[in-house]
Amino acid sequence: MKILIILVVMLLCYSFASSSGDTTTIHTNNWAVLVCTSRFWFNYRHMANTLSLYRTVKRLGIPDERIILMLADDMACNSRNQYPAQVFNNENHQINLYGDNVEVDYRGYEVTVENFLRVLTGRHENAVPRSKRLLSDEGSHILLYMTGHGGDEFLKFQDAEELQSHDLADAVKQMKEKRRFKELLIMVDTCQAATLFNQLQSPGVLAIGSSLKGENSYSHHLDSDIGVSVVDRFTYYTLAFFERLNIYDNASLNRHPFTFCCAVCLSPMIRDSLCLPPTTGLIFTSQIWRRYRLQISSVQLWRPFTLIHLTKPSQVESPIAR
């Protein structure tokens, strides 16, 4: 009888531990997967978006060996680029995003839906080197940033194929089942970006998109020398927030100066219902990340960000983009 009681107690303890694993797992490391899915010169801004985030996450503490950078084209070496081997996200050309220390893991035609999903799920062929793998674990915090052209529940890869919302949801589900992350922050800067999150069901995920269904994601400004737009609004104001942080900051989403108002970014949205607890999020800090202290309702799956600190879009300037 005593043995039976002991077994029951052990079973209950195991069940409790399994159900609360996400809240008790210790944070171990931080990763970033940064993806530009667009080719061609007129999509210059998408590469600049991605390289801007790459520079920022490195500055805030994530080393190259824990960043997977995927660039579908090489604007720095494009024959139309009058600034060879350089990429800028502002018309002032103060910061070359394509410096000497950029490590591109997947470039050109290597940037495919298949390779992207393999990176997330870890289902690589044996020949793929460790430098091209997301070697995360159950204590990892991961930033997944994607930019390009999207539509209703899809993201285009190089105008040749599409990543569907159910593809992303299935990959995230596999990641969770294989204990490849503790918390995952997904940021998408495309048209109708929020629809890419519609099928997500896995816990521990915070998803932020630059636009709702039927809405566009807008570029920020044109560089007359280069001849195209060099950064998107959503990414520009994201940088305005992150570039004001140092590695010791403990920032909250409500502090965002880009805090996603319609006047600035026009249509960004957030889904926080999968976070455990609902007020948990992710942040760029010295420990990338501690907790976003999100004071938002868990009733709505999606909510527009509200303007907190701004009265005019011109009041926000990104230090990295000036």
Contact status, residue 258 vs residue 241, Cβ threshold 8 Å: yes
Choice among 36, 191, 261, 265 that is catalytic: 191
Helices (H), the chain: 2-19, 21-24, 44-59, 113-121, 165-177, 233-242
- In angstroms, the CA 186 to CA 210 distance is 11
User: Which of 230, 233, 190, 189 is CA-nearest to residue 81?
Assistant: 230
- In angstroms, the CA 55 to CA 102 distance is 9
- In angstroms, the CA 145 to CA 46 distance is 11
| Residue bearing tokens 């589900």 | 173
- In angstroms, the CA 3 to CA 24 distance is 28
To the query of whether residue 149 is one of the catalytic residues in this protein, the response is: yes
User: Which of 316, 305, 300 is CA-nearest to residue 261?
Assistant: 305
Choice among 46, 141, 149, 256 that is catalytic: 149
To the query of whether residue 309 is one of the catalytic residues in this protein, the response is: no
**Beta strands 140-147 and 29-36: pairing type?**
parallel
Q: Which residues are the active-site residues?
A: 149, 191
